[in-house]
Each structure stands twice: as structure tokens, then as C-alpha cells.
A = this chain, B = another copy of it.
Amino acid sequence: MVESNAARLDSIFHALADPTRRALLRDVSAGEKSVGDLARPHALTLAAVSKHLKVLEAAELVARQRRGSFQIVRLNAPVLHEADEWLAYYRPFWSTRLDALAQHLEQEPEGESR
């Protein structure tokens, strides 16, 4: 559906594969925050948090915007929707609706790669 889906999923899942980054994402889901605000609750240097934010930004999970001398970070949730759509393919496999599974398997497996 989307063009280079695989590379996008790479960066999204990679960004989510770190507990600090998931925590940052959760923190920022409560509303816009400056980098300093985001760093404060974590036992990390600002530079480290800045790097994590760069990973989240590369995956477009957050967006930055300068406001005065602050960098304001906000959640970009629709990107998580892409991960959700990838997962959706497997939903029939953990739900108990085996008939749905059978029907599911007749379809082509959604072309992410190649």
C-alpha cells in the first residue's frame, strides 16, 4: 500500500525497541514537552535523551518545533498506526476465531518486502 513500507517499519519498530524511548513516547502523549522536561524523569544525560529523540524523530513518531529557546516535542501518533496495521495481519492468529484464520490464509500475505 505505502511504497517503502519495510524501511518505515524498520525504523518504527527499532524506535519502539527501547524502554527509554517507549517511556518518552508515553510522556509526550500527555502533551507537548520540551527536551528538558522529557529528560528530567530519566536518569540520563540530556545528550542521551537528545539522541533517543532523534531516533523517535527519524521514525517520525515525534515531531519537533522550536518555541523560543525550547525545542517542543509532540507525538505523531498516526505513524504508530502503521505498526498497528502491520500487526493487524496477525490478529486472526491469536484470536480464537479459527474459521477467520482459514479465510485469512487464503488471501495474499500483504506485500511489504522485495
Contact = CB atoms under 8 A, between A and B. Distances in A.
Interface of A: 6-7, 9-10, 13-14, 16-19, 22-23, 25-26, 29-30, 75, 77-78, 80-81, 83-84, 86-87, 89-91, 93-94, 105, 109-110, 112-113
22 contacts: A9-B17, A13-B16, A13-B17, A14-B14, A16-B17, A16-B86, A22-B112, A23-B112, A25-B90, A26-B89, A29-B90, A29-B109, A30-B105, A30-B109, A75-B90, A77-B90, A77-B93, A78-B94, A80-B87, A80-B90, A83-B87, A84-B87
Interface of A is mostly: helix
B113 A93 contact: no
